């Protein structure tokens, strides 16, 4: 299973090693587990896709060129408050029926929705919500 690990854009690449290893520990029983960080996939495919819109679409609906299996089968977010690109990835994955999780320590919480909180020239912010949140956010 290929898992997309969404790390904040401000995170240094070497700092993404710890959450990737934590996720591998959480999912250690999964067969053929391959955790790919957002930075790794960005470096590998963004220029080829040419825009944020195309890259986000590729992350959610792309297929491996030889096997034709989905590029990613599961999405894990490392922050509950997310930027626009991460929010769009989570929203689209949820719409297509793919699982989206928030990693809190060594626990995965299933994401139900992504809620847009702010939209101004200075700040845009989205928050992941969970079934137990109801309408509280």
pLDDT above 50 for 43:
yes
Beta carbons within 10 angstroms of residue 54's beta carbon:
14
pLDDT (tens digit per residue) in 66-117:
989 999 999 999 998 888 899 999 999 999 999 999 999 999 999 998 887 7
pLDDT band at 137; cut points 50, 70, 90: very low
Question: Tokens 């959450």 appear where?
Answer: 19
Question: Tokens 């769009």 appear where?
Answer: 88
Range of lowest pLDDT (4-13, 14-23, 56-65, 122-131): 122-131
At 69, phi and psi to the nearest 5? -75, 155
- pLDDT the model gives residue 119: 59
Question: Tokens 């960080």 appear where?
Answer: 37
Sign of the torsion angle spanned by Cα atoms 33, 40, 6, 21: positive
Q: 101 with 75: CB under 8 angstroms?
A: yes
């Amino acid at each position: 299973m290929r898992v997309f690990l969404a790390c904040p854009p401000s995170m240094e690449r070497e700092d993404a090693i710890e959450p990737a290893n934590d996720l591998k520990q959480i999912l250690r029983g999964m067969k053929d587990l391959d955790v790919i960080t957002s930075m790794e996939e960005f470096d590998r495919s963004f220029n080829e896709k040419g825009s944020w819109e195309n890259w986000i679409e590729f992350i959610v609906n792309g297929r491996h060129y030889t096997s034709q299996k989905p590029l990613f089968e599961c999405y894990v977010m490392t922050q509950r408050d997310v930027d626009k690109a991460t929010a769009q990835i989570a929203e689209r994955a949820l719409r297509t029926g793919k699982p989206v999780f928030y990693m809190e320590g060594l626990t995965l919480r299933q994401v139900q929705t992504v809620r847009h909180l702010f939209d101004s020239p200075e700040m845009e912010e989205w928050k992941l919500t969970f079934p137990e949140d109801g309408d509280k956010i």
